[in-house]
Chains A and B, each alone.
Chain A
Amino acid sequence: MIENRPLLRIMSHLIMVAGVVLVAFPLWITFVAASHSEQRMTELPLPLLPGGHFFENLDIALNQGLWGGDGTGVGFMLFNSLIMALMISIGKIVISLLSAFAIVYFRFPFRMGFFWMIFVTLMLPVEVRILPTFEVVANLGMLNNYWGLSIPLIASATATFMFRQVFLTIPDELLEAARIDGAGPLRFFKDILLPMSQTNIAALFVIMFIFGWNQYLWPLLVTTDQDMFTIVMQIGKLLEGGEEAPQWHITMMTTLLAVIPPVIVVIFMQRLFVQGLTETEK
Chain B
Amino acid sequence: MASVTLENLQKTYPNGFKAIHGVDVDIQDGEFLVLVGPSGCGKSTLLRMIAGLETVTEGKLSIGGKMVNDLEPSQRDIAMVFQNYALYPHMTVYNNMAYGLKIMGLSKQEIDERVKNAAKILELTEEQLTRKPRQLSGGQRQRVAMGRAIVRKPSVFLFDEPLSNLDAKLRVQMRIEIKRLQESLGITSVYVTHDQVEAMTLGHRLMVLNGGNVEQLGTPIELYERPASLFVAGFIGSPAMNMISTKMSSDGKSIEIASDISLALENGGAADYAGKKVILGVRPEHLELSQTDNSLPFTVTLVEHLGADTLIHGHFGEDMTDLTVRVSGTHTVKAGDQLPVTITRDHIHLFDPATEKRISL
Closest 3 CB pairs of A and B: A182-B74, A181-B100, A173-B86
Does A191 count as interface, using CB distance less than 8 angstroms? yes
- Say if the beta carbon of A123 comes within 8 Å of chain B: no
Q: How far is the CA of A198 from the CA of B89 in the complex (A)?
A: 12
Cβ of B253 to closest chain A Cβ, rounded Å: 57
Determine the residue in chain A with the shortest Cβ distance to B149: A180
Q: Closest residue of chain A to B79, judged by CB? A: A180
Q: In this assembly, does B182 line the interface, its C-beta being within 8 Å of a C-beta of chain A?
A: no
8 Å CB contact of B103 from A171, A173, A176, A181: A181
Chain A, residues 179-217, CB within 8 Å of chain B (1/0): the string is 111110001000110011010000000000000000000
Contacting pair B90 A195 (CB below 8 A)? yes
Given contacts A196-B89, A196-B90, contact A176 B82 (CB under 8 A): yes
**Complex partner residue of A179 from B73, B87, B88, CB under 8 angstroms:** B73
Task: State whether the Cβ of B343 lies closer than 8 Å to any Cβ in chain A.
Answer: no
Q: Give CA–CA (A182, B75) in the complex, Å.
A: 8
* Chain B contacts for A18, CB-based, 8 A: none
A174 at the interface (CB under 8 A from B): yes
Decide yes or no whether B312 CB sits under 8 A from chain A.
no
B44 to chain A, nearest CB (A): 12
A182 near B82 (CB under 8 angstroms)? Answer: no
Least CB separation from B51: chain A residue: A180
CB distance from B145 to the nearest CB of A (A): 9
Question: Is there a chain A Cβ closer than 8 Å to B104's Cβ?
Answer: yes
Q: Which of B53, B72, B86 contacts A174 (CB 8 A)?
A: B86
Give residues 38-79 of B contacting A (CB, 8 Å).
Answer: 51-53, 72-75, 78-79
B103 adjacent to A177 (CB under 8 Å): no
Whether the pair A174, B88 counts as a contact (CB closer than 8 A) is yes
A180 x B99 contact (CB < 8 A): no
Contacts of B104 on A, CB cut-off 8 Å?
182
Q: Which residues of chain A come closer than 8 Å to B78, judged between CB atoms?
A: 180
Q: Which of B2-50 contact A (CB under 8 A)?
A: none
Q: Which residues of B contact A171 (CB under 8 A)?
A: 84, 86
Cβ–Cβ contact A179 & B74, under 8 A = yes
Residues of B near A177 (CB, < 8 A) are 80, 82, 86-88, 148
Measured between C-beta atoms, what is the minimum distance from B81 to chain A in Å? 10
Q: Identify 23 residue pairs between A and B in the complex whose beta-carbon atoms are under 8 Å apart, listed by A's number.
A: A171-B86, A174-B86, A176-B82, A177-B88, A178-B88, A179-B52, A179-B53, A179-B73, A180-B53, A180-B73, A180-B78, A180-B80, A180-B100, A181-B99, A181-B148, A182-B72, A182-B75, A187-B103, A191-B88, A191-B99, A195-B91, A196-B90, A198-B90
Give the nearest-CB partner of A187 in chain B.
B103
Task: Say whether A282 faces chain B, with CB atoms less than 8 Å apart.
Answer: yes
A263-282 residues with Cβ-Cβ distance < 8 A to B are 282
Residues from 275 to 314 in B contacting A, C-beta threshold 8 Å: none
> Which of A181, A183, A191, A192 has the most B CB atoms < 10 Å from its CB?
A181
Bound together, the chains give a CA A176 to CA B87 distance in angstroms of: 11
Residue of A nearest to B105 (CB): A182
Is A176's CB under 8 angstroms from B53's CB?
Answer: yes
- In chain A between 103 and 140, which residues have their CB closer than 8 angstroms to a CB of chain B? none
Give the Cβ gap from A182 to chain B, nearest Cβ, in Å: 3
CB neighbours of B84 from chain A (8 A): 171, 173
**CB of A198, distance to nearest CB on chain B (Å):** 8
Given contacts A177-B82, A182-B100, A187-B103, 10 further A-B contacts (CB under 8 A): A173-B82, A174-B86, A176-B73, A177-B80, A180-B53, A180-B73, A180-B79, A180-B80, A191-B99, A282-B89
Closest to B85 in A: A173
Give the residues in chain B near A182, CB-CB below 8 Å: 72, 74-75, 100, 103-104
Tell which of B51, B84, B99 has the most Cβ of chain A within 10 Å.
Answer: B99
Report chain A residues within 8 Å CB of B52.
179
CA distance A171 to B87 in the complex (A): 10
Q: Could you tell me the distance in whole angstroms from the C-beta of B116 to the nearest C-beta in chain A?
A: 19
Chain A residue numbers with a CB within 8 Å of B79 are 180
CB distance from B337 to the nearest CB of A (A): 51
Shortest distance from the beta carbon of B190 to any chain A beta carbon, whole Å: 14
**Residue of A173, A183, A192 with most chain B CB atoms under a 10 A cut-off:** A173
**Within the assembled complex, what's the spacing in Å between the Cα atoms of A198 and B51?**
30
**How many Å lie between the Cα of A171 and that of B83 in the bound state?**
12
CB B289 to nearest CB in A, in angstroms, measures 49
A32 to chain B, nearest CB (A): 46
A191 to chain B, nearest CB (A): 7
The smallest C-beta distance from A63 to any residue of chain B, in angstroms, reads 46
Q: How far is the CB of B189 from chain A (nearest CB, A)?
A: 15
Q: Point out the residues of chain B lying under 8 angstroms from A183, CB to CB.
A: 74, 99, 103
